[in-house]
Amino acid sequence: MQKYRIWVLLTVGLAACQPAAPGVPETSGAGVADLLILNGRVFAADEAGTTAEAVAVRGNTILRVGSNAELSALRGPDTRVVDARGGAVLPGFNDAHVHFVSGGFALADVDLAGLTTLREVQAAISRFAADHPGDGWLRGRGWLYQPFPGSSPTRAQLDEIVRDRPAVMECYDGHSIWVNSLALARAGITKDTPNPPNGEIVKDPKTGEPTGHLKESAAALVEKIMPEPTEADRRAALKAAVAHANRLGVTSIQNAGTSLEEMALYEAAKRDGDLTVRAYLAFSASSATTAADADRMVETWQRLGDDPTLRTGIVKMYADGVIESRTAAMLAPFERGASAGAPNLTTEELNRVVAMLDARGLQVQIHAIGDRAIRMSLDALEEAARVNPAPARGRRHRLEHIEAIAEADIARFGQLGVIASQQPMHVALGDMNQASPAGPWPDNIGPERWSRAWAWQRIRADGGRLAFGSDWPVATLEAGQGIWLASTRVTLPGGTAQAMSMADAVRGYTSWAAYASFDDQRKGTLAPGMLADIVVLASDVFAQPPQKPTDVVVGATVFDGRVVYQRQ
Ligand SMILES: [Zn+2]
């Protein structure tokens, strides 16, 4: 890629030295842009804070960034012009943490996101069931804990509206499901079914009967009997996800855990020309991962190569669960209880797998939410750096989420060079839960630990690097909403202000995210030679900061030099 680009520049340079052929207009040569974005509030998202009015694109890279007057001179007869009308022009959004194909499937399921009362939740499911009649599985996702007494939904609440077909509704956090009686019966789950490892079948304390709430790995007891999506279903889900991303200005995604089957899906989409987002795909690892598994990951990594549109070289692990369902691993017990949760792996297992992956030059990303899981993960990364020589490309290991961190671990991100990959809209989910007396996030953790919730500004102040994402479909894929939240976030208990500048909020979804996937030399900033992935917003978010989450509206999306979305 780099070599090719240099060759093109050399050829163009030579051509430019030749006298223009008679009759050929001056502009038809090397300097002509294929695409011009004019009248914008261009923010390059570099560390210098470069601003401009216009961007010129040629082929799939940025030709120049400058003033309207300068760049208008690059206009030729076939140049496409996008008038930004004063809107912000930014590098295309790069979502550093998604579950992309799941998101594509979720677009076709009952959407329970943001519903705060049981009545609303039940009405949404009833309406969807009526619109999609049949006796097949009814799927939905996105429920919050607050509509349910005790933060635990019951099968009776679902049976009231869906009795004659199995129904399964996934929690917004992806860590538990809510099913009706028919689904439990089909899965053969009774009061005698034991909890699987790292999972819980919630049971009625009086009768011992399963309530319909299945946490963590217990969800698999139902999921494994659900009909498998066909190859065509999966292709359609990926295609729907790509179109959704382009509408939202997202031109790069980093998929946090990808099966080999899913990887083949992306390869097929790329061959068919349907992959208009750049995908960085993480493998999955656990305590069961062997050296042979790691070698196979390296083989796939090498086979895909350094293709800027489809790459791997990263591995996702889970150190713990989530705070809402008390499955996060904490250093001290949750409020109102003796349990502090438990990590998914022992220290020895985590250290072994992390060192094994690090020794092969693979990037490691660890889901770590509770302060104990965060500490264990930082320890494992520190240990790997101690026992292994540094890989040729350096280390850019990451922790994902980092919701409740111990004071002593904040500075370690900067010290160890570990990236804090965080999802601003998770804070909104937490705050929403806080509105309810039964809100599990703040209730489970208490004000002292809550004061260090999603402490991105403190991690950064201590020299740590950040990358932002959505965790879609856990939260919306709209980077604009994350930017609104990161730039307006209110003060936490204890008085720590966590709001960041608009410029930094944008960097979190662009240049910083590109660094987190080893892509900062070719995308994430607007500069000559960088890949032409660009988003044009409908307004200037720097002059008029968004007041509510939906204020950041995408006007146009450019991927690889082509306009893939334009708002009507
Ligand atoms: Zn995730």
Question: Which residue type sits at 1?
Answer: M
Span from the CA of 99 to the centroid of ligand 1 (angstroms) = 6
pLDDT tier at 433, thresholds 50, 70, 90: very low
For residues 360 and 384, what is the distance between their CA atoms, to the nearest angstrom? 11
| Residues composing the chain | 568
Span from the CA of 256 to the centroid of ligand 1 (angstroms) = 6
Asked which of 22-26, 273-277, 345-349, 422-426 is least confident by mean pLDDT, the reply is 22-26
Residues 173-199 as b/e (b if ≥16 CB within 10 A, e otherwise) read bbbbbbbbbbbbeebebeeeeebeebb
Q: What are the tokens at 58?
A: 């040629």
Span from the CA of 400 to the centroid of ligand 1 (angstroms) = 8
**C-alpha 301, offset from chain centre:** 21
In this predicted model, what pLDDT tens digit does every residue of 91-133 receive, in sequence order? 999 999 999 999 999 999 999 988 889 999 999 999 999 999 9
Span from the CA of 342 to the centroid of ligand 1 (angstroms) = 19
Of 516, 301, 521, 252, the residue nearest 395 (C-alpha)? 516
Residues 6+ apart with CB under 8 A from 399: 365, 366, 368, 374, 377, 378, 413, 418, 419, 420, 421
Asked which of 173-177, 400-404, 502-506 is least confident by mean pLDDT, the reply is 173-177
Span from the CA of 107 to the centroid of ligand 1 (angstroms) = 17
Does the pLDDT of residue 11 top 60, yes or no? no
Span from the CA of 322 to the centroid of ligand 1 (angstroms) = 11
For residues 81 and 78, what is the distance between their CA atoms, to the nearest angstrom? 9
Radius of gyration, CA atoms only, the chain: 25
Sheet holding 51-52, edge to edge: 51-52, 41-43, 88-91, 534-537, 554-559, 562-566
Span from the CA of 169 to the centroid of ligand 1 (angstroms) = 17
**What's the pTM?**
0.86
Contact in structure between 416 and 382 (CB atoms under 8 Å): yes
**3-class secondary structure, 21:** coil
Span from the CA of 23 to the centroid of ligand 1 (angstroms) = 58
In this predicted model, what pLDDT tens digit does every residue of 515-566 receive, in sequence order? 999 999 999 999 999 999 999 999 999 999 998 888 999 999 999 999 999 9
Of 201, 213, 222, the residue nearest 156 (C-alpha)? 213
Residues facing 421 on adjacent strands: 400, 467
**3-class secondary structure, 360:** coil
Span from the CA of 323 to the centroid of ligand 1 (angstroms) = 14
For residues 390 and 412, what is the distance between their CA atoms, to the nearest angstrom? 18
For residues 335 and 394, what is the distance between their CA atoms, to the nearest angstrom? 41
In this predicted model, what pLDDT tens digit does every residue of 182-216 receive, in sequence order? 999 999 999 999 999 989 999 999 999 999 999 99
Apex 269 CA angle, 268 and 275, nearest 5: 150
Span from the CA of 399 to the centroid of ligand 1 (angstroms) = 11
**Backbone dihedral region for residue 417 (phi beyond 0: left; psi -120 to 50: alpha; all else: beta):** left
Between the alpha carbon of residue 552 and those of residues 197, 254, 381, 484, 559, the distances in Å are 43, 22, 37, 7, 19
Span from the CA of 96 to the centroid of ligand 1 (angstroms) = 10
Span from the CA of 235 to the centroid of ligand 1 (angstroms) = 21
Span from the CA of 280 to the centroid of ligand 1 (angstroms) = 14
Q: Regarding beta strands 554-559 and 562-566, do their DSSP bridges make them parallel or antiparallel, or are they unpaired?
A: antiparallel
